[in-house]
Structure formats: C-alpha cells, structure tokens
C-alpha cells in the first residue's frame, strides 16, 4: 500500500461557486443601474459585504464605468435648481435679508 498517495482535492467546485457568485453580483448591479445598495438588498447582503465582493472579484473598474455610463433620464436633468440659483431671476422671489452684523 502506498502511503505517499494523497487524495486529490480539486479547487474547481470552489472556483465554480465563486464564478457563479461573481456573475450574480454583476447581474444584480446591472439590473439596479450600478446602485450598490439596491443590488446588495436584492442579494441579501449588507452594503459592506457588497463592497467586499466587488473588490474581491475585481469589479471596481466595471462598477466605475457603469456609474459613469448611466445618466439621468432627460426629464429628470436639472429638475431642481441649486439652492443659490433657486430664486435669482424670479419676480416672485422673497426679499433677501440683510447680512448679519
């Protein structure tokens, strides 16, 4: 009997599992337009766990590109003016208070 023979343990099942998990994380991110909190909620993960998996699977670049590629719908762009610009050219603007001394 050969005692030097060790049973072969293949990391393939673990690799397949990790690959499946990576695909699911990526698919959830795409479905939720790269919003990590929504994708995490769908997958039953915390935001921290989601961030860890993105880093673990090397998806940072894809997430960054996905965020950059998404844009607000045309009707939502500049829907609300910035605070300082809100009443600048409006006739019904409330009077401005004098600065405090």
- Look up tokens 């600048």; give the residue: 88
Fold observed for domain 14-68: Arc Repressor Mutant, subunit A (1.10.10)
H helices present in 1-46, as ranges: 12-31, 36-43
Band (pLDDT 50/70/90 cuts) for residue 101 is confident
pLDDT greater than 70 at residue 84: no
Report pTM: 0.57
C-alpha 91/C-alpha 101 separation (Å) is 28
Q: Is the distance from CB of 28 to CB of 39 less than 8 angstroms?
A: yes
Predicted local distance difference test score (pLDDT) of residue 100: 85
pLDDT greater than 60 at residue 64: yes
pLDDT greater than 60 at residue 1: no
Q: Is the distance from CB of 39 to CB of 29 less than 8 angstroms?
A: yes
Contacts of 21 (CB under 8 A, 6+ apart): 53, 57
- Look up tokens 């300082």; give the residue: 84
Contacts of 62 (CB under 8 A, 6+ apart): 26, 29
Predicted local distance difference test score (pLDDT) of residue 25: 97
**Where along the chain do its domains lie?**
14-68
- Residue that wins the pLDDT comparison between 68 and 93: 68
């Amino acid at each position: 009997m050969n005692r030097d023979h060790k049973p072969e343990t293949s990391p393939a099942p673990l690799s397949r599992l990790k690959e499946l998990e990576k695909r699911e994380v990526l698919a959830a991110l795409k479905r939720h337009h790269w919003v990590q909190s929504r994708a995490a909620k769908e997958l039953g993960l915390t935001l921290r766990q989601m961030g860890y998996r993105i880093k673990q699977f090397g998806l940072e670049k894809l997430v960054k590109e996905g965020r950059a590629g998404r844009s607000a719908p045309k009707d939502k762009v500049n829907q609300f003016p910035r605070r300082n610009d809100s009443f600048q050219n409006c006739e019904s603007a409330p009077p401005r208070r004098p600065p405090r001394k």
